[in-house]
C-alpha cells in the first residue's frame, strides 16, 4: 500500500503542465520551444523528441529549470544538440542534463535555435512509468504561445470512492518574474471554492499544488465539474504558465490539461475587436463633398472556417454603408445601404483562397442619397470564433462603387 501511495505521489508530481494556449495548435513549430513539464524520477522518465524539418543541420541550446521542492531546483546546465537536416533525435532528461542531483526531478525545459537564423523546429515528449509504460504526452509549445491573461482548466474533480480522483495544478514563469492568481470555481454556478492562491514567481520558477482542493482550503467531500482560473497578477502582464491534471488513483492514469484563454493578449487574434481610429490615432472618417463619395478600405485577417460578423458603430451608422470581401475579392456580407455584414459562415477551409488564411477587406462609404458636404466619423466592430486582427485602414478612394 505504501509503495502504491509513493508511486501515486510521484505520478502527481509530474502530471500537470501548460498554459494559455489551446491543447495544442497544429501550428506548433518555433525557434524557441517550451516543454511545460519534463521529468526524471525513480518512477517516471520523460523521452523528448526534437525534429529539425530544415534543409540544413541546426544547432540547439537545451535548458532545464527544476521546480521548487525537487532534487534540483532552478537552472541546470544541459548538453546542446546538433541535428542534421530533416532528422529527429530523442533523449531523456537525465541523459541531456547529467548534472541533475539524484532523486525526483521535474520542471520546465526550453530548447532554442542557437544561430538566430529563424529555422523553426518541433518538440514532443512522452512521460512513461519505468515499470509498465503508463504515461502521458506533452507537446512542445512555441514560447510566444504563453501570456499573462486568464486561462481556464475545466472538468476538474476530487472523488474518494474507487477508483478515486485527485486534481493537481502547477504555475510557472518564463524568463521573468511574475505574480500568479489561481481560483477554483464551481463549473455550474460560478461560486468560488476555497480561497484564492496568490504569490510571486521568480524568473523561470515553478510551483506545484498537490491536491488543489486541499491547497485552496475547500470543504471536505467530493467535487466535480470544477474549473481553475489561472492568471498573471502583476503589472505588465508577464508570462504565467498554468496547468492541471486529474489523476485516477488505482492505475494512476492521468492527463495533462493546459489552461486556455478566452481573449488572448494577442492583437492578431482578438475574438472581438473594435476600432474607431488608426493605430496613430487618426479617426476613421468618410468625407462626402457633393457628388464625390469616398470609400475607405480596411484590411483584417480571419482564420477560416469561421463565423464572422462586422458592423459599423457610432452616431452615423444610418448615413453609412459597409461590405466585406473575402481573400478572393468576393463580397460575402453587407452591401448597399447596410451598416452590418450580419453573421455569415466562411464555408469549408478549401472554399476560400485555396485553403490558405488571407486578408479580408472591409469597405465603408456614405449612402448614395447623401450629397451635402459632410464628414462622418465611424467605428468598426468584428467578432469571430477564431479571432482576427485590427481593422487597419489601408486606402481612401474617391471611387464609391457600391
State residue 370's pLDDT score. Answer: 59
Give, for 37, the enclosing helix (H) or strand (E).
strand 32-40
DSSP code string of 92-140: EHHHH-TTPPSS-EEEEEEEEESS-S---BEEEEEEEETTT--EEEEE-
Who's near 271: CB < 8 A, 6+ residues apart?
A: 262, 263, 383, 384, 385, 386, 387, 388
Q: What pLDDT does residue 19 have?
A: 33
> In sequence order, what are the residues at sequence separation of 6 or more whose Cβ sits closer than 8 angstroms to the Cβ of residue 214?
none
One of 2.60.120.380, 3.90.1150.10, 1.10.4080.10, 1.20.1250.20 is the CATH number of 270-397, namely 2.60.120.380
Q: Characterize the bridge pairing of strands 81-83 and 74-77.
A: unpaired
Q: How many helices (H) and strands (E) does the chain have?
A: 3, 31
Hey, which CATH number is domain 2-144, 3.20.20.70, 1.10.10.10, 2.60.290.11, 3.40.50.1000?
A: 2.60.290.11
Closest alpha carbon to 234 in 203, 192, 278, 274: 203
Cα separation, 309 vs 329, in Å, equals 17
Rounded Cα distance between 357 and 333, Å, is: 18
Strands 58-66 and 81-83: antiparallel
- Position 266 scores a pLDDT of 84
3-state secondary structure 290-346: CCEECEEEEEEEECCCCEEEEEEECCCHHHEEEEEECCCCCEEEEECCCCECCCEEC
- Report how far residue 229's alpha carbon sits from residue 222's, in angstroms, rounded to the nearest whole number: 19
Q: Which pLDDT does position 372 carry in this prediction?
A: 62
Domain boundaries, the chain: 2-144, 151-261, 270-397
Give me 164's grid cell.
478515486
Report how far Cα 162 is from the mean position of its chain's Cα atoms: 34
Q: Which residues contact 138 (CB under 8 A, 6 or more apart)?
A: 17, 18, 35, 36, 37, 38, 124, 125, 126, 127, 256
| 213, 158 Cβ separation under 8 angstroms | yes
- Could you give the CA distance from residue 209 to residue 168 in angstroms, rounded to a whole number? 6
Task: Quote the pLDDT of residue 11.
Answer: 41
Mean pLDDT, each 10-residue run in order, the chain (402 residues): 35 37 69 94 91 97 97 95 98 96 95 93 90 84 90 96 95 95 97 98 96 97 97 88 88 83 86 94 85 85 95 95 96 95 94 93 85 83 95 87 83
Q: What angle do CA 157, 181, 217 make, to 5 degrees?
A: 50
Q: Which CATH number fits domain 151-261: 3.30.260.10, 2.60.290.11, 3.40.1190.20, 2.130.10.10?
A: 2.60.290.11
Alpha-carbon distance of 378 to 315, in angstroms, equals 7
What CA–CA distance (Å, rounded) separates 174 from 13?
Answer: 19
Run of H or E residues at 215: helix 212-215
Domains 2-144 and 270-397 share a fold: no
Nearest to 259 by CA among 273, 247, 275, 245: 245
Quickly count: other Cβ atoms within 10 Å of residue 227's Cβ: 19
Distance between CA 1 and CA 398 in Å, rounded? 81
Tell me which residue has cell 498537490: 210
Return the pLDDT at 374. Answer: 83
Q: Any idea which residue has 515553478 for its cell?
A: 206
> What is the Cα–Cα distance from 350 to 331, expressed in whole angstroms?
18
What's the pTM? 0.85
Decide: helix, strand or coil at residue 319. helix
Taking the C-alpha atoms of residue 151 and residue 82, their distance in angstroms, rounded to an integer, is 35
Amino acid at each position: 500500500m505504501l509503495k502504491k501511495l509513493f508511486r501515486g505521489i510521484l505520478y502527481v508530481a509530474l502530471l500537470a503542465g501548460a498554459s494559455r494556449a489551446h491543447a495544442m495548435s497544429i501550428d506548433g513549430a518555433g525557434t524557441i520551444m517550451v516543454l511545460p513539464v519534463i521529468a526524471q524520477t525513480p518512477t517516471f522518465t520523460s523521452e523528448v523528441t526534437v525534429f529539425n524539418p530544415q534543409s540544413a543541420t541546426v544547432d540547439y541550446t537545451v535548458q532545464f529549470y527544476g521546480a521548487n521542492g525537487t532534487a534540483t531546483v532552478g537552472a541546470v546546465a544541459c548538453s546542446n544538440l546538433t541535428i542534421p537536416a530533416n532528422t529527429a533525435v530523442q533523449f531523456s532528461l537525465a541523459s541531456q542534463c547529467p548534472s541533475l542531483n539524484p532523486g525526483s526531478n521535474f520542471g520546465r525545459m526550453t530548447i532554442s535555435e542557437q544561430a538566430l537564423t529563424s529555422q523553426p523546429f518541433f518538440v514532443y515528449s512522452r512521460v512513461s512509468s519505468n515499470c509498465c509504460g503508463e504515461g502521458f504526452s506533452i507537446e512542445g509549445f512555441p514560447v510566444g504561445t504563453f501570456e499573462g491573461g486568464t486561462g481556464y482548466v475545466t472538468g476538474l474533480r476530487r472523488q474518494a470512492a474507487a477508483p478515486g480522483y485527485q486534481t493537481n495544478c502547477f504555475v510557472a514563469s518564463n524568463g521573468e518574474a511574475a505574480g500568479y492568481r489561481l481560483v477554483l470555481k464551481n463549473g455550474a454556478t460560478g461560486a468560488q471554492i476555497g480561497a484564492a492562491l496568490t504569490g510571486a514567481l521568480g524568473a523561470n520558477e515553478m510551483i506545484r499544488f498537490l491536491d488543489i482542493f486541499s491547497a485552496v482550503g475547500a470543504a471536505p467531500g467530493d467535487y466535480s465539474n470544477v474549473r481553475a482560473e489561472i492568471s498573471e497578477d502583476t503589472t505588465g502582464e508577464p508570462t504565467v504558465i498554468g496547468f492541471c491534471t486529474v489523476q485516477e488513483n488505482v492505475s494512476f492514469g492521468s492527463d495533462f490539461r493546459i489552461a486556455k484563454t478566452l481573449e488572448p493578449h494577442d492583437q492578431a487574434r482578438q475574438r472581438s475587436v473594435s476600432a474607431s481610429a488608426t493605430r496613430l490615432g487618426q479617426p476613421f472618417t468618410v468625407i462626402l463633398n457633393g457628388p464625390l463619395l469616398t470609400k475607405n478600405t480596411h484590411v483584417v485577417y480571419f482564420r477560416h472556417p469561421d463565423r464572422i460578423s462586422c458592423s459599423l458603430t457610432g452616431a452615423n451608422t444610418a448615413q453609412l454603408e459597409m461590405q466585406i470581401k473575402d481573400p478572393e475579392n468576393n463580397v460575402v456580407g453587407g452591401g448597399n445601404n447596410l451598416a452590418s455584414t450580419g453573421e455569415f459562415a466562411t464555408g469549408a477551409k478549401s472554399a476560400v483562397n485555396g485553403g490558405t488564411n488571407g486578408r479580408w477587406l472591409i469597405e465603408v462609404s456614405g449612402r448614395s442619397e447623401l450629397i451635402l458636404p459632410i464628414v462622418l466619423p465611424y467605428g468598426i466592430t468584428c467578432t469571430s470564433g477564431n479571432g482576427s486582427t485590427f481593422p487597419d485602414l489601408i486606402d481612401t478612394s474617391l471611387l464609391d462603387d457600391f
